[in-house]
Amino acid sequence: MMKSKPLGIPAAYPIKLHSVKRLIIALVACLAAFAPLTSAGAQQKGLEVYHAGSLSKAMADIGKAFTQQTGVTVVLTGSGSGALRQRIEQGERPGVFASADMGNPARLAEKGLAEPPTPFTGNALCVLAKKSVGVTPANVVEKLMDAKVKVGTSTPMLDPGGDYTWMFFDKAEAATKGAAAALKAKAIKLVGDPALPMPPKDYPRGQVAWHMEEGRADVFLVYVTTAMLTQKEMEGLEIVELPKDLAVGARYGLTVITGAAPVAGDFKAFVLGAKGQEILKGYGFRPQ
């Protein structure tokens, strides 16, 4: 009876250890190329945050504080909230959207592009005026309607600041017949639209100060927080609060974009937390 030979690899095909090692290394590299980003990779890429222009300085500080706490870089993009919402609708995907209203993020949520928004801070509309104009809470509508006074505003639809201003104009109608139409007609839209002229890169102050310094506006309807910053940048300005019957408040909404990495939720929690709220308060924002 013939004995069977043990199974084995023919001598012509010996297995070499260094060949096996090369094969394993190649397989690992191939798998790594198709693997999802790890948390470390996400940190390298950073978290994109779209935010209302009025939040620029506060959000810069919040971003730095969040990076110090987590190691995650925050990449900020500021503009009119309506314009940013349109960009997200057209396919851009930041992790977080901080809007100067609740309406724009709510529209994204309705389309399944974001979570329902959470209110996270507040603001109010006011008049920032050159002292020479002589605006007071009692004569604010009269002064704004004066043909000699140039009234600067933000851009409705693209920026909630413009929408809030139009709300104020409508309220002014109750006090002075014809005021709404007259004010909307004479308003000079100078900010809130990305297509509008911007200050030179080396200009040391903000957009509102630039327009007022260049004489394009004698008064500006802006948020209280913007007025406070501009007053520090430029001499000869005063902040005039709107009377109670004409006052317009602003409620800011924060949302996480659908499909964002978990770190986006961490950032939202940070903004709503003690440190984020402390920074916002320092810039004149009002708690919700």
Is pLDDT of 231 > 50? yes
Residues 95 and 273: their CA atoms lie apart, in Å, by 18
How large is the average pLDDT for residues 14-31?
46
Domains and CATH numbers, the chain: 40-121+250-282 (3.40.190.10), 123-249 (3.40.190.10)
Residues 117 and 82: their CA atoms lie apart, in Å, by 15
Task: Give how far Cα 10 sits from Cα of 3, 6, 13, 166, Å.
Answer: 18, 11, 6, 87
pLDDT in tens, 190-207: 999 999 999 999 999 999
Tokens coding 64: 């730095």
Residues 156 and 37: their CA atoms lie apart, in Å, by 40
For the packed helices 103-110 and 81-89, what is the interaxial angle rounded to 10 degrees?
10
Region at 258 (left for phi over 0; alpha for psi -120 to 50; beta for the rest): beta
Is pLDDT of 32 > 60? no
Nearest to residue 208, comparing CAs of 150, 166, 253? Answer: 150
For the packed helices 262-272 and 56-70, what is the interaxial angle rounded to 10 degrees?
120
User: What is the band of 22 on the pLDDT scale with cuts at 50, 70, 90?
Assistant: low
Cβ within 8 Å of residue 51, ≥6 positions away: 59, 76, 77, 78, 84, 97, 98, 99
Question: Minimum mean pLDDT among 5-9, 66-70, 95-99, 103-107: which range?
Answer: 5-9
Is pLDDT of 166 > 50? yes
Is pLDDT of 223 > 70? yes
pLDDT in tens, 125-157: 999 999 999 999 999 999 999 999 999 999 999
Q: What percent of the chain is predicted at pLDDT more than 70? A: 84
Residues 280 and 257: their CA atoms lie apart, in Å, by 22
- Tokens 């709220």 found at: 277
How large is the average pLDDT for residues 231-259?
97
How large is the average pLDDT for residues 255-261?
98
Q: Are strands 249-256 and 96-99 parallel, antiparallel or unpaired?
A: antiparallel
pLDDT of 159 reads: 97
Q: Is 17 exposed, middle or buried (0-12, 13-18, 19+ CB in 10 A)?
A: exposed
**Which residues are registered as beta bridge partners of 76?**
49
Q: Are strands 249-256 and 118-130 parallel, antiparallel or unpaired?
A: antiparallel
